[in-house]
């Protein structure tokens, strides 16, 4: 009768193999465990940021922006989905206000840099809110680009040309 010494290598049980496979899949396959989203109130310019874990809302906060602090609201809050900041991608073509948060942030940086006057700031804020009322952010996007181009144009223009330039803002 021969006895074999116990083997040092044992094949793990099916429970351990299954758990290992699920762990690898959870790390590789982009499942919506946690997602972030931003909505914009198209009547005031406020931004609402939300966090979901496994599809359940765990956090939501409303942030004032330079637009909401500068312009008077056009009516009751009307939140429109703007952008998802999820790690597996984000943004869908059917979101009609996907650029709205970026427009707010871009012009906020713009006003910090040029130290524009309050009247021009209010006019720009009201202009964006008015353009959001068209049903998407396309016109507002063009407006933001025109404002930024106008400043670039003025910075590159010699002082004597600035005095003779057309002062109409888009």
> Is residue 2 assigned to a domain?
no
In this predicted model, which residue has the larger pLDDT, 10 or 14?
A: 14
Residue 159, helix vs strand vs coil:
helix
Q: What is the pLDDT of residue 51?
A: 86
> Is residue 9 assigned to a domain?
no
> Is residue 102 assigned to a domain?
yes
pLDDT band at 56 (very low <50, low <70, confident <90, very high): confident
> Is residue 161 assigned to a domain?
no
Percent of the chain with pLDDT over 70: 72
Structural domain harbouring 100: 34-156
Q: Is the pLDDT of residue 82 over 60?
A: yes
Task: Say if CB 27 and CB 19 are below 8 A apart.
Answer: no
Q: pLDDT tens digits for 126-155?
A: 999 999 999 888 899 999 899 888 877 776
Euclidean distance between CA atoms 162 and 167, whole angstroms: 9
* H-type alpha helices, 94-157: 100-114, 118-132, 138-156
Euclidean distance between CA atoms 27 and 46, whole angstroms: 35
Q: In DSSP terms, which residues pair with 59 in a beta bridge?
A: 51
> Is residue 129 assigned to a domain?
yes
pLDDT band at 165 (very low <50, low <70, confident <90, very high): very low
Q: pLDDT tens digits for 57-79?
A: 899 999 999 999 999 999 999 99
> Is residue 10 assigned to a domain?
no
> Is residue 11 assigned to a domain?
no
Euclidean distance between CA atoms 104 and 111, whole angstroms: 11
> Is residue 52 assigned to a domain?
yes
How many folded domains does the chain comprise? 1
Q: What is the pLDDT of residue 11?
A: 59
Q: Is the pLDDT of residue 45 over 70?
A: yes
Task: Say if CB 42 and CB 87 are below 8 A apart.
Answer: no
pTM for the whole structure: 0.67
Half-sphere exposure of 68 (CA within 13 A, CB side): 19
Euclidean distance between CA atoms 63 and 46, whole angstroms: 6
Q: What is the pLDDT of residue 88?
A: 47
């Amino acid at each position: 009768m021969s006895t074999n010494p116990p083997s040092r290598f044992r094949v793990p049980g099916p429970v351990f193999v299954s758990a290992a496979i699920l762990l690898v899949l959870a790390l590789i396959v982009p499942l919506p465990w946690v997602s972030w989203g931003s909505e914009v109130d198209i009547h005031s310019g406020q931004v609402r940021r939300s966090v979901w874990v496994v599809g359940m809302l765990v956090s939501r906060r409303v942030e004032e922006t330079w637009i909401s602090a500068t312009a008077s609201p056009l009516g009751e809050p009307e939140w429109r989905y703007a952008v998802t900041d999820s790690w597996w991608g984000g943004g869908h073509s059917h979101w009609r206000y996907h650029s709205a948060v970026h427009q707010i942030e871009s012009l906020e940086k713009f006003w910090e840099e040029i130290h524009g006057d309050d009247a021009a700031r209010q006019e720009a804020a009201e202009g964006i809110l008015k353009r959001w009322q068209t049903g998407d952010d396309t016109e507002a996007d063009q407006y933001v680009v025109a404002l930024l181009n106008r400043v670039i144009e003025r910075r590159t223009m010699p002082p004597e040309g600035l005095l003779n330039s057309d002062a109409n803002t888009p």
